Amino acid sequence: MERHFCRVWNPVPLVRVQSSGGRSARYARSAPEGPTLKLRAATGADVPALARVAQRSYQFAFAGILEDDVLASRDAEFFAARFAASLEALIVAVDNENPLGFLLMTDGHIDMLFIDPGSTGKGVGSRLLDYAERKGAKSLECFRDNHGARRFYERYGWRLDREYDREFAGRNRSFVFYVKGETAP
């Protein structure tokens, strides 16, 4: 199964929060909680719009990382077929039912976390990542050269587990594998 990850621009920072006892502090996401941003399970009716979000995000995130022919092959039809086959694992972030991004997670592994390029830097990715963590996300993979995504995950406590090469879209690529928590899968 191919896994894809969005480059995240202007990630929402962590802020220091005092505990109720006043002696220790913890860090929390400072993502704005917009009144209309909601996370929900995707439905079949969402697939066409999510496929367009995925295509735009893919083009934006991986320009300069993947070749033009690979970018062109990941069109809306490609993503629609993928989503139709894994609808039960798809969570969508919507603003007034307009999809801004999505999460695809199976067996504790984040397969995809994509944000529409026009919605980056608004806390959408942080909300989806927080949701994934609360639902038991323990691992993810991204391209080694996807520095924006790597900074985003590291900022939220994901730890680099290993680097490796494997085939992707007919070519050998370099990847990194991140884990969260005490144990790695």
pLDDT 10s per residue in the chain (185 long)?
445 444 443 334 444 434 344 444 444 444 445 558 999 999 999 999 999 999 999 999 999 999 999 999 999 999 999 999 999 999 999 999 899 999 999 999 999 999 999 999 999 999 999 999 999 999 999 999 999 999 999 999 999 999 999 999 999 999 999 999 865 55
Residues 44 and 77: beta-carbon distance below 8 Å: no
pLDDT in tens, 79-114: 999 999 999 999 999 999 899 999 999 999 999 999
Contacts of residue 97, Cβ cutoff 8 Å, sequence gap at least 6: none
The pTM of the full predicted model, rounded to 2 decimals, is 0.79
Tell me the CA distances in angstroms from 62 to 13, 100, 117, one per residue in order: 23, 18, 12
Q: Residue 179 and residue 111: Cα distance in Å, rounded? A: 13
| Residue 80: other Cβ atoms inside 10 A | 18
| Residue 157: other Cβ atoms inside 10 A | 12
**Helix, strand or coil for residue 122?**
coil
CATH code, residues 4-12+27-136: 3.40.630.30
| Closest by CA position to 122, among listed 29, 58, 42, 31 | 31
The identity of residue 132, as a single letter, is A
Domain residue extents for the chain: 4-12+27-136
**Helix, strand or coil for residue 172?**
strand
| Residue 137: other Cβ atoms inside 10 A | 22
